Structure 1
Amino acid sequence: MKNAGTAIPRPPFDPELEAALESLAAQLPPTITPEMIHPLRQTMGDGADARQALVRRGLEVRDVTAPSSDGGAIPLSIVQPAGHVGAGVGFYYVHGGGMVFGDRLGGVEVLADWLLRYDAVAVSVGYRLAPEHPDPAPVEDCYAGLVWTAEHAEELGIDAGRLVIAGSSAGGGLAAGTTLLARDRCGPALAGQLLMYPMLDDRDDTASTRQIDGVGVWDRGSNRTGWSALLGDRRGSDEVSVYAAPARAGDLSGLPPTFIDCGSAEVFRDEDIAYASGIWAAGGQAELHVWPGGFHAFDAFAPHTTLAKDMTGARDQWIDRLLS
């Protein structure tokens, strides 16, 4: 299939997902421009709906702060089953939003089944957003929150040896960068990293970025907007850190078992495949799923579809194997 107005072919969308995209088009344009960041933030709310949804699932939510690397305070939300006792599995979660949107409870519901199944505790980090807070603030906030979580594992009811980092989209990229920081700074040990369609590469030079342009959810233009907000004039240059854009990392050894998924019809496809390949090349363990016809974050936008259920099922199976 070809994009409208261009001769570049792209993988077709799954028929069920294409129908969902048509209804989404009226609410969410495929391309986010810098001028749209602040108006869209206003429409997204403050996370109250997400908090209520978690409580309805039988989860407790409380908020704390952790010190940032530059002397500030990072908000964290702790989510756990009502009545949680003892020390068990922990999840450290990083929300998505293209580096410019989102709040710490946005997307946490993806963990809800696991929290209930394993009587686990999640800590979700409210990292500072670009462009007001460019790199390295977001990834340093995420790392500082992880360090705080590990240091307070016992009082949180987390077994420090069973702590998994998870993130979606921009949060997946920040989770990958945080994991690299933890490795390189001899920081908290992680039992695994779950990277859901992660945003890893600022260089805009893959086939999938050229294919997904003006179509779908979070296209090439949106990606440039997000990376430019984070990196400014450094985007695409040699001055970008591997912690900001993990696809640039030449050494992917020493990482915990990794899960990566994405759609075949999304901007991040090729960088996600390359990241898994880099882990394999370094002798590490990675599981990769590329869902045919999937657009970006289709599990969140169209959870009723067959492909979305298959995607979440594959994550469930990986978590079960990792934690068994």
Structure 2
Amino acid sequence: MNRAANPFHPDLQRAARLIPNVTVTRPVLAVMRFLTRLQPASRFPEAVEVKDVRVPGPEGAPPVRVRTYRPRTVQGPTPALLWIHGGGYVLGRPEMDDLLCADFARELGILVVSVDYRLAPEHPFPAPLEDCYAALRWLFAQTEALGVLPERIAIGGASAGGGLTAALAQLTHDRGEVRPVFQLLVYPMLDDRTTTRTDLDLTIHRGWNQGSNVFGWRSYLGREPGGAQVPAHAVPARREDLSGLPPAWLGVGTCDLFHDEDLAYARRLEAAGVPCDVTVVPGAFHGFDAIARGAGVTREFRGLYTAALRRALFPASGVAEQAKAG
């Protein structure tokens, strides 16, 4: 089968055929949330300790649950990663990324904190972003108690979690209270204006299609997406001045609905003087690494962004080797 007939990476062609073409709507969302809660508990490696903690939420809002993943074999203060799950701003919970976060903790020897932020449409912007900010403030405030190096805290996320990561980087820059050292953007959901595009080949999108994108952005913004104006920090790609943000790594596939908006954002970061390492995976669709966990292309992709985290959190290789989990 040639590339023209099948645009997907050879490792992903079977998965692409099997993924149902589902558009998220309110009734579909209810079913998806129910199924997410039925996800069986993850079996963690003995080397990782997992705990749930409730931390102070935004002013006037409930506490925020965070899920922490700590390597048992690391001694002394460690770097940390605040991780934000995906789900189109309307779906998901930290448990869906249990294995990924445990791998980060074990492989890098770091504390990982995953945020259970409130979801749209019940809780539109700014509630999800403010929950993430509250969790990050807590992490910085508790560095001594948690055994974390405050100058080595990164933020990261996938899909809508990547969009919230980019928005969080902008918000922390503007408020000036806490300063993450790095932002990890895994096929991030950055620009509501993509919902208005009519020039895209919609037949190649798997995992997240244009209809779901409209629903996700409409739910998060509380209005029709793609309009002339949006609130500050609501849509990361709408921000005009990207200077002064933390260095970034961004990865996306060529068959991902977010491909164009992601590369445009990466170019703008670089133009603003923000280092941004970009990985483009030929023939990869949205969420391919979660759907095809065992594929070679997934292992390579995850290896790249894990290495990017290692470089950001352990800038001296000697420190990295000393702090890595056994």
Aligned partner of 2:131 in structure 1 is 141
Q: Is residue 123 from structure 1 mapped to residue 123 from structure 2 by the alignment?
A: no
Aligned partner of 2:45 in structure 1 is 56
Aligned partner of 2:35 in structure 1 is 43
| Alpha-carbon distance in 2 for matches of 1:62, 1:46 | 19
Q: Is residue 23 from structure 1 mapped to residue 18 from structure 2 by the alignment?
A: yes
| Alpha-carbon distance in 2 for matches of 1:279, 1:297 | 23
Aligned partner of 2:268 in structure 1 is 278
The structure-2 alpha-carbon separation of the partners of 1:193 and 1:111, relative to structure 1 and needing over 3 Å to count, comes to same
| Alpha-carbon distance in 1 for matches of 2:174, 2:38 | 34
Q: Is residue 77 from structure 1 mapped to residue 67 from structure 2 by the alignment?
A: yes
Tell whether the 8 Å contact from 1:85 to 1:157 is kept in structure 2 after alignment: no
1:15 Cα deviation from its structure 2 partner? 2.7
Aligned partner of 2:207 in structure 1 is 217
Aligned partner of 1:111 in structure 2 is 101
Tell whether the 8 Å contact from 2:19 to 2:206 is kept in structure 1 after alignment: no
TM-superposition CA deviations, 1:71-118 (whole Å, max 9, x none):
221111111012554211101010111111111232242233331233
Q: Is residue 300 from structure 1 mapped to residue 300 from structure 2 by the alignment?
A: no
Aligned partner of 1:86 in structure 2 is 76
What is the percent sequence identity of the aligned residues? Answer: 37
- Partner letter of residue 313 of structure 1? G
TM-superposition CA deviations, 1:143-198 (whole Å, max 9, x none):
11111111111111110111010101100000111111000000211111101000
| Alpha-carbon distance in 2 for matches of 1:35, 1:221 | 14
Tell whether the 8 Å contact from 2:69 to 2:101 is kept in structure 1 after alignment: no
- Partner letter of residue 62 of structure 1? K
Instruction: Report the secondary structure of 2:102's partner residue.
Output: helix
Aligned partner of 2:320 in structure 1 is none
User: What is the 5 A alignment of 1:161-240?
Assistant: 161-204=151-194, 210-212=200-202, 215-240=205-230
**Coordinate RMSD, CA, aligned:** 2.3
The structure-2 alpha-carbon separation of the partners of 1:145 and 1:112, relative to structure 1 and needing over 3 Å to count, comes to same
Aligned partner of 2:91 in structure 1 is 101
- Partner letter of residue 275 of structure 1? Y
| Alpha-carbon distance in 2 for matches of 1:21, 1:57 | 34
The structure-2 alpha-carbon separation of the partners of 1:82 and 1:320, relative to structure 1 and needing over 3 Å to count, comes to closer
| Alpha-carbon distance in 2 for matches of 1:290, 1:30 | 25
1:44 Cα deviation from its structure 2 partner? 1.0
Aligned partner of 1:158 in structure 2 is 148
| Alpha-carbon distance in 2 for matches of 1:148, 1:62 | 15
TM-score (norm 2): 0.89
- Partner letter of residue 36 of structure 2? M
| Alpha-carbon distance in 2 for matches of 1:46, 1:59 | 23
Instruction: Report the secondary structure of 1:163's partner residue.
Output: strand
1:210 Cα deviation from its structure 2 partner? 2.4
Aligned partner of 1:14 in structure 2 is 9
Aligned partner of 1:312 in structure 2 is 302
Instruction: Report the secondary structure of 2:277's partner residue.
Output: strand
| Alpha-carbon distance in 2 for matches of 1:142, 1:236 | 24
Tell whether the 8 Å contact from 2:163 to 2:185 is kept in structure 1 after alignment: yes
1:317 Cα deviation from its structure 2 partner? 2.5
Instruction: Report the secondary structure of 1:75's partner residue.
Output: strand
1:244 Cα deviation from its structure 2 partner? 1.8
Instruction: Report the secondary structure of 1:233's partner residue.
Output: coil
Instruction: Report the secondary structure of 1:295's partner residue.
Output: coil
Structure 2 gaps of 5+ residues are: 316-326
Aligned partner of 1:287 in structure 2 is 277
TM-superposition CA deviations, 1:208-257 (whole Å, max 9, x none):
98223584110111111111111122522233134221010111111111
TM-score (norm 1): 0.89
Instruction: Report the secondary structure of 1:204's partner residue.
Output: helix
Instruction: Report the secondary structure of 1:320's partner residue.
Output: helix
Aligned partner of 2:57 in structure 1 is 68
Structure 1 gaps of 5+ residues are: 2-8
| Alpha-carbon distance in 1 for matches of 2:199, 2:207 | 12
| Alpha-carbon distance in 2 for matches of 1:210, 1:10 | 17
Q: Is residue 257 from structure 1 mapped to residue 252 from structure 2 by the alignment?
A: no
Tell whether the 8 Å contact from 2:9 to 2:283 is kept in structure 1 after alignment: yes
Q: Which runs of 4+ in 1 moved over 6 A?
A: 206-209
| Alpha-carbon distance in 2 for matches of 1:162, 1:226 | 32
